[in-house]
C-alpha cells in the first residue's frame, strides 16, 4: 500500500492524502480531481529517472561526492 500526498496541486488547495491499494477507484463529482490523481499516478509509475543529468547537477553544485558513494 502506498500513499500520495497532494497539496497546492490541481484542484487540491489544501493537503490531501490518497491511499493507493491494488484496486483503487476514484468516484466523485465533476472537476473534483479524479483525473488529476489518475494522471499523476500514471506519470509517477512510468517515469524513468535520468541519473546522468542528476549527477551532472550534483557535480555543478559541488556535491559530486554524493553519487560516487552510492
pLDDT in tens, 21-68: 889 888 989 988 889 888 888 888 888 888 888 788 888 877 655 545
> pTM for the complete prediction?
0.56
Q: Which residues are within 8 A (CB) of 34 and not within 5 positions of it... i.e. 6 or more apart? A: 26, 27, 28
Instruction: Give the model's pLDDT for residue 30.
Output: 92
What is the pLDDT confidence band of residue 20, given thresholds at 50, 70 and 90? confident
Amino acid at each position: 500500500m502506498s500513499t500520495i500526498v497532494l497539496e497546492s496541486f490541481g484542484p487540491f488547495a489544501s493537503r490531501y492524502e490518497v491511499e493507493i491499494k491494488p484496486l483503487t477507484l476514484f468516484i466523485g463529482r465533476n472537476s473534483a480531481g479524479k483525473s488529476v490523481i489518475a494522471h499523476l499516478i500514471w506519470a509517477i509509475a512510468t517515469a524513468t529517472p535520468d541519473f546522468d543529468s542528476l549527477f551532472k547537477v550534483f557535480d555543478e553544485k559541488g556535491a559530486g561526492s554524493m553519487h560516487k558513494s552510492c
